[in-house]
Amino acid sequence: MLRSATGHKTLARRGTPGGAIRGKHRGASAVEAAIVMNIFLLFIFAIMEFGHFVMVKQLMDIAAHDGARMAATGVNTVTTAQIEALITQELVNQAPSGMNIQIYEANPTTGANVGAWTSAGLGTPIVVKITGQYEPMVALANLLPLPVNVTSEAMVYSECPD
């Protein structure tokens, strides 16, 4: 028996402090951990998904630029199929679904399509436009509008003489 500050006799608890209450908190801790872990994993997967989206978009931008560069330097020697093959190869199996590749001669001020890229003269802009739909790796509980439309466009001036 112990004496309290007021002088009354008290019984000492055995075991760990709060031993009688500790068993009740184990279940609450498991529930809290499950909730926090779900939120934590959601953030981790969202970060990974965003990183994957940025990578795909960057690959599309680079592929569009390289395709436009190929068209601009080879108006008389390169075919549309060769440019499309280059773009598809550079996307390294990360191409968006429903991918569409357009190659055309553009209006220098508006960028509008004015005809076939093969008729572009020296200094005429040639555009390569890639469009498609990005489909996420993980659904993320429908937090994003699915699928996401993506577009990459590159304009390069023709270097081939008329």
Q: Does 39 reside within a domain?
A: yes
Specify the DSSP element, H or E, that contains 3. strand 2-3
Q: Does 105 reside within a domain?
A: yes
Instruction: Read off the pLDDT of residues 8-19 as tens digits, 9 standing for 90 and up.
Output: 665 555 555 555
153 forms bridges with which residues in the sheet? Answer: 129
Give the residue ranges of DSSP H helices in the chain: 19-73, 80-90
Domain, as residue range, for 119:
27-157
Q: Does 18 reside within a domain?
A: no
pLDDT at 20 exceeding the cut of 60: no
Q: Does 3 reside within a domain?
A: no
pTM: predicted TM-score of the whole model, two decimal places:
0.76
Q: Does 20 reside within a domain?
A: no
Q: Does 7 reside within a domain?
A: no
- Burial-class residue 19 by CB neighbours within 10 Å (0-12, 13-18, 19+): exposed
Q: Does 142 reside within a domain?
A: yes
Q: Does 9 reside within a domain?
A: no
Distance CA 28, CA 31 (A): 5
Structural domain count of the chain:
1
